[in-house]
Amino acid sequence: MSDLDTQTRDALAELLLAMADDEFVLGFWDSEWTGIAPILEEDVAMSSVSQDEIGHAKALYELLAGLTGDDADKIAFGRPAEAYRHAALMNHARTDWAFSIARRFLYEHADAVRLESLAASSYEPLADLAVKMRREETYHLLHFDLWLRRLAEGGEESHSRLRGAIEALWPDAQAVFAPLAGEARLVAARILPESLEALRARWLERVTERLQAVGLAVPPTAGSPEADGRTRRTDEFAWLHGEFTMVSGSEADATW
């Protein structure tokens, strides 16, 4: 598939950037738990997970860089805050443990659905990468499903914190499947084997089943995700952007 026309290539670049930014920004937020997670064993596990996400982001940025002739680090660190394309779900700080767990639960299942589909992508480098990423993500799914249950069944305070977090994040979680400008073209070329709306329906089914299994109400879903699901930004993200560009942006053209 080296003979992509310009418009298809642009559409593919948009998809890769969206996925890479999801992993990158979430990886940064959750790496803040390193050293201060509730228990030492979980500290080590959460660090692993956020390293996996940064590793996936790196692989996706590299794929994108190969497509556009750019540099992975430059894409990752060299853009103004408004040019990031992560889903609104990743706009928020890590907040408390319940919030971080709720977000990971919602995101891991969204990512799993996305990767399962992309494993059949007609764009081979992406299909190969999706297969590789799924191996690690399988562990993430088990880990965060377990945490969801622990917190849901961990007494009144724990349950209510978790419920609040799920409710707060629910609308922004839909944004992982917010429409992409070049989506129709990607689906037609079977680079994206299914529409994002179809993926969202599958995700909704899975998370609904799991939430109900642990006694959590599923918040109402207000139709399809908004078009700005990957472009609206928050002050919290602006702060994070300031942090992760502090060193890399401190000197032009320096090597780090």
Partner 1 sequence: MDDAARADTFYAHVSGGGKVEPDDWMPDDYRAAVLKFVEMHANSELMGVLPEREWILRAPTLRRKLALTSKVQDEVGHAQLLYRVAEDLGKSREQMLQDLIAGKTKFHNVFHYPTRSWADVGIIAWLVDAAAIVSQQALRDSSYAPYARTMKKICWEESVHIMHGRDVVLTLMNGTDAQRASVQDALDRWWGPLMQMHGPPTNPETDRDLIWKIKAKGNEQLRQEFLSIYVPRIRELGLVIPDPALAYDDEAGRWAYTEPDWDELRSVVTGHGPKSQERLEFRRDARATTQWVRDAIIGPVGTAAA
**Interface contacts to partner 1, rule CB under 8 A:** 27-28, 31-32, 34-41, 43-44, 47-48, 50-51, 54-55, 57-58, 61, 72-73, 76-77, 96-97, 150-151, 154-155, 157-158, 161, 240, 243-244, 246-248, 251, 254-256
Provide, rounded to whole angstroms, the least separation between the CB of residue 51 and partner 1: 5
Provide, rounded to whole angstroms, the least separation between the CB of residue 111 and partner 1: 19
Q: Cβ contacts of residue 66 below 8 Å, gap of 6+?
A: 125
What are the CA-CA distances from residue 185 to residues 5, 15, 195, 250 (Å)? 11, 11, 10, 39
Provide, rounded to whole angstroms, the least separation between the CB of residue 100 and partner 1: 10
Cα 116 from Cα 193, distance rounded (Å): 10
Query: Quick one: 155 or 223, whose CB is closer to partner 1?
Result: 155
Query: Quick one: 55 or 125, whose CB is closer to partner 1?
Result: 55
Q: Cβ contacts of residue 181 below 8 Å, gap of 6+?
A: 11, 14
Kindly report each contact of residues 80-83 with a partner whose C-beta sits within 8 Å and lies 24 or more positions away, as own/partner. 81/233, 81/237, 81/238, 81/241, 82/231, 82/233
Q: Angle 10-229-98 (CA atoms, 0-180°, nearest 5)?
A: 125
Query: Quick one: 72 or 189, whose CB is closer to partner 1?
Result: 72
Cα 119 from Cα 123, distance rounded (Å): 10
Query: Quick one: 36 or 223, whose CB is closer to partner 1?
Result: 36
Provide, rounded to whole angstroms, the least separation between the CB of residue 68 and partner 1: 17
Encoding tokens for residue 192? 């994206």
Provide, rounded to whole angstroms, the least separation between the CB of residue 87 and partner 1: 20
Query: Which residue do the tokens 């839909």 mark?
Result: 174
Provide, rounded to whole angstroms, the least separation between the CB of residue 140 and partner 1: 16
Provide, rounded to whole angstroms, the least separation between the CB of residue 98 and partner 1: 8
Query: Quick one: 188 or 238, whose CB is closer to partner 1?
Result: 238
Compute φ and ψ for 61, nearest 5 degrees: -65, -35
Query: Quick one: 112 or 151, whose CB is closer to partner 1?
Result: 151
Query: Quick one: 27 or 193, whose CB is closer to partner 1?
Result: 27
CB atoms within 10 A of CB 205: 12
